[in-house]
Amino acid sequence: MAALMIVPIILASLDNVGKKNIAVIDETNWFLGRFENADNMQFHYVFESVDSVKSQVLNGKYDLLLYVPQPTLNVPVNAEIYSNRQIPMTTASYISNTMSKEVETKKLLASGIDPNIIKSAKTAINLVTFRLDEDGASKKSFTAVNVALGLVSSILIYFFIFIFGSQVMRGVIEEKTSRIVEVIVSSVRPFELMLGKITGIALVGLTQFLLWVILTAGIYGLFTLFYNPAQIPEAQMNAGAMMQQTNPVMDGMNQEAVLKVFEVVEAINFKVIILSFLFYFIGGYLLYAALFAAIGSAVDSEADTQQFMLPVSLPLILGLVISNFIVNNPDGALAFWLSIIPFTSPVVMMVRIPFGVPYDELILSMSLLIVGFLFTTWFAGKIYRTGILMYGKKVTYRELWKWMKY
């Protein structure tokens, strides 16, 4: 995980060697001197023919040619870039941004408006959201952050349930196919064997998760200590360009960034989020692991699991897909019901929690989840007990129903 975050930055910085020499042929003369040189870009204003500069690009004297032809109308809106290699997005966007700014300024001047007036008129509005508590107290909340937290944690729970649930299933199938199950079952009851397996893998999962969190935080922390990201303009520009596209809120915050970050962090109710995450992670896992164990016991090989996997994983998938809509309406009816029903609640409730959920709803959801996994464990136990000693039969739902009654 740490590698996922660090490697792209390192790769981007490595790529940063080499300045791009950009030849500019401006037939309009509007943009002379307007492009600013930077660490990775050097603009050269040339007055040769297009073809001769093109060949200079080919033989390496220049990396790019920016050609602004004489416009058919008054205002230049078209330009062409020639290069023998792919043009970086950031360079292209810098050029087009600069050009459009220039054209806008000139248009304003031509209409008699001083561009400086426009500039000083631009204001970044600082929108702060407060959430009213039942006691009437208000707490700051940041929508964007909550959305991110909610989605990320629900995706994590979704993946963990699948990964560890599948491990349970595979373990059951392995015991069945290696035939060791009969020896074990002469010493312990099948139900105990199933529970032991589910618990064991749960502990493995928790340990892995904790290690993952600790290592990621540790490595990333060390990395930022030694390797100052500020030295990498390309990476920052990438980050900045991305952020500008997805998050207009961040635009006006650059100056007070540090203070803001602290405010944001303080506004997040970490205790509730982390505790809920752990609870829904474990609860959701227990609920689904039992079902996965049942599926494993009913089949003879992993290939046969497909027909049962779909109905079992459907609520989870549904929950995740609908989460995207729930982030926009965390208090609506759909969100409420899906966060209460134990089959979808692990995924959906986590989306709601950063926005704050009334305690009675939270308790209801948690109790139902507990009831849910007790039920699926009991149900799975019945199927497991018969399935692990049954070989060769093609299992259908009818067959499973029979096993329930044994």
Partner 1 sequence: MRTFLSVNEVTKKYANHLAINNLSLQVPENSIYGLLGPNGAGKTSLIRIINQITAPDKGSILLNGEVLSPEHISRIGYLPEERGLYKKMKVGEQALYLARLKGMPKNIARQKLLYWFEKFEIENWWNRKVEELSKGMQQKIQFIVTILHQPELLIFDEPFSGFDPINVNLLKEEILKLREQGATIIFSTHNMASVEELCDHIALINNGNKILEGTVNEIREAHRTHTFECEIKQPVDSIKQDLEQLSVTLNKFVRKADNSVRITITSDAESSGNQLIKKLLPLGELSDFKELLPSMNDIFIAQVSATNIKTDSHE
Catalog residues that contact partner 1 under the rule CB under 8 A: 174-175, 177-180, 182-188, 389, 402
Is the separation of the CB atoms in 165 and 289 below 8 Å?
yes
Nearer to partner 1, 183 or 225 (CB): 183
Nearer to partner 1, 171 or 229 (CB): 171
Rounded to a whole number of angstroms, the minimum distance from the CB of residue 406 to partner 1 is 8
Cα separations in angstroms, 99 against 20, 38, 86, 105, 112: 18, 16, 20, 10, 20
Rounded to a whole number of angstroms, the minimum distance from the CB of residue 294 to partner 1 is 18
Rounded to a whole number of angstroms, the minimum distance from the CB of residue 85 to partner 1 is 50
Nearer to partner 1, 95 or 383 (CB): 383
Strand arrangement, sheet containing 64-68: 41-45, 20-26, 64-68, 80-83
Rounded to a whole number of angstroms, the minimum distance from the CB of residue 177 to partner 1 is 8
Rounded to a whole number of angstroms, the minimum distance from the CB of residue 126 to partner 1 is 59
Rounded to a whole number of angstroms, the minimum distance from the CB of residue 201 to partner 1 is 15
Nearer to partner 1, 107 or 393 (CB): 393
Sign of torsion over alpha carbons 225, 230, 231, 235: positive
Neighbours of 390 (CB within 10 A): 15
Nearer to partner 1, 63 or 175 (CB): 175
Nearer to partner 1, 38 or 184 (CB): 184
Rounded to a whole number of angstroms, the minimum distance from the CB of residue 193 to partner 1 is 10
Nearer to partner 1, 70 or 187 (CB): 187
Nearer to partner 1, 7 or 188 (CB): 188
Rounded to a whole number of angstroms, the minimum distance from the CB of residue 203 to partner 1 is 17
